[in-house]
Amino acid sequence: MVITSTGFSRLARLTGKAWGVADLRIAEYPGPLGIHDSGQIAHNVESSLIDGIVNGLTRDEESGGAATAARSRNQRDIVCSGTAEDVNGFFASKEWSDGLPIVPPTIARVEAFLKFTSRSPEEAIATLPSANLRATPWNIAANAVMAGCRPEHMPLILAAVEALGDERCCLGSLGSTSGIFPYILVNGPIVKQLGIEYGAQLVSRGPNPAIGRAIGLIVRNIAGFRPGASYMGTFGCPLAFTLAESEDETPWEPFHVQQGFDRNASTVTIGVTNNWGASPAAYDTPEQNGAETALQLLAREITHKTRLFNFPGSGPDAETVMITLLISPSVAKSLAAAGYSKHDVITQVYEKTRMPLREFDWVLKNTAIMRTTARERAQAGVFPQEFMGAPDDIVRVLSSPDVLHVMVCGDPHRNRVMVLEGGHTQPTTKPITLPSNWDELLRQSTK
């Protein structure tokens, strides 16, 4: 059996079903545990939770005959017909859409996408938690159609699904109440071939919104993350978004080259973030140059992020942390002109991301549910030893420079930076495999 708190019982049942436990016993703690004091917790455990645990552990197995197996559907079965309004209403009633109108995934439209891959329509590209359902070219294409993608986007979306299924991506943790949502980073020649935006207002232009939406629908319909059921983000999340790196404008090697791929390879990276926030300006000041200001702004932004209390942790008992630094081309060039390599930028941001231990300890004790102190976490080996110092000591907030990733993109005429922070996962990059007749297919599709 499993113990949950209010609002999580449906999630527990869905997770149990995905892992083969059809009749999971559940005992529910009443109310928001994170804000109850020790007296309230003790009262709720004694008056409610203990009875639920005892009942769950002593209850007889459910009687009755075997459950009737659901009819296995053929992928060509028509589940709905009618007008566009009829289809959208039906999909919304099944929670298959994201609340916005969809393009009906007709067989003809799905088959148009399948022309852009040599893989069998029923081949398992990945098994996606938390529902543990098979992602195949057929159901991947159906979701991409719904999102408004074009057939030539299919190879990119297939590679993105492979990344979602990689164990490093830890997709099963996406349902956190902190409101994690995925984003897609694209590198290589395919960026220009598909017209993916990498300059000004890039997440809002070209095919970027549709590709991001497709990944969001795949996470919803194949991975099984339904809002209020298995996706528990307290305030929800915006649609998944797509970024491409401005490789012509960056003074450094592109992101995918750092991940071990050839510069001429096309890749897609899945990351997650808890925020799509404000982008502070980097500008000259009388005291120092713009490059130094940019580094300080990035470091300061990191200390204001949601998961700050996890950032110093390392080792098997620490939560995975990833931070992606979005830097506009003008800022990247000013940093390079000042002599900073990408490695230097990462090292400098790591060194500059500091704050008083007293302030960090307040964040840890008041925003995390661990009910612990920085000193106690340091004694347990999760935080560095410097977190055992005096309250006014200045401590480094990040566990390692390795949690930082840099991407150059956005308006080349603006001096902006942005920090995307996420937990539970790390950026996962996969190569995009193109069909042998890619150039011909692309010409035909874009006529």
Kindly report the pTM of this predicted structure.
Answer: 0.86
Question: What rounded mean pLDDT belongs to the chain?
Answer: 88
Convert the pLDDT of each residue in 124-141 to its tens digit: 999 998 888 899 999 999
pLDDT computed for residue 233 by the predictor: 73
* pLDDT band for position 63 (cuts 50, 70, 90): very low
* 275 vs 363, higher pLDDT: 363
Task: State which H helix or E strand residue 42 sits in.
Answer: helix 38-44
Query: Sign of torsion, CA 100 105 109 111?
Result: positive
pLDDT higher than 50, residue 67: no
pLDDT higher than 60, residue 26: yes
Mean pLDDT to the nearest integer, 337-362 = 96
Contacts 24+ apart (CB under 8 A), 294-300: 294/327, 294/331, 294/334, 294/335, 294/415, 294/417, 295/335, 295/345, 295/348, 295/349, 295/352, 296/352, 297/417, 298/325, 298/349, 298/352, 298/417, 298/419, 299/349, 299/352, 299/353, 299/354
How far is 272 from 233, CA to CA, in rounded Å?
13
Is the Cβ–Cβ distance between 222 and 128 less than 8 Å? yes
Residue 157 Cα distances to 113, 161, 255, angstroms: 11, 6, 19
Least confident of 184-198, 234-248, 324-338, 389-403: 234-248
**Could you give the percent of the chain with pLDDT greater than 90?**
58
Closest CA to 430 of 162, 90, 121, 231: 162
pLDDT computed for residue 71 by the predictor: 55
Mean pLDDT to the nearest integer, 36-61 = 85
Both tokens assigned to 205:
């232009």
Query: Phi then psi for 432, rounded to 5 degrees?
Result: -95, 120
pLDDT computed for residue 86 by the predictor: 95
Query: Sign of torsion, CA 114 119 123 125?
Result: negative
Mention every residue, 6+ apart, whose C-beta is less than 8 A from residue 242: 183, 184, 185, 186, 196, 203, 207, 208, 209, 211, 212, 215
pLDDT higher than 80, residue 280: no
Closest CA to 122 of 143, 107, 136: 136
pLDDT computed for residue 65 by the predictor: 41
- Residue 37: CB atoms within 10 A of its CB come to 7
Is the Cβ–Cβ distance between 409 and 198 less than 8 Å? yes
pLDDT higher than 80, residue 283: no
pLDDT computed for residue 292 by the predictor: 87
Mean pLDDT to the nearest integer, 386-412 = 95
Convert the pLDDT of each residue in 220-279 to its tens digit: 999 988 887 777 777 777 789 999 999 999 999 999 999 999 999 999 999 888 877 666
Is the Cβ–Cβ distance between 188 and 269 less than 8 Å? no
* 4 vs 231, higher pLDDT: 4
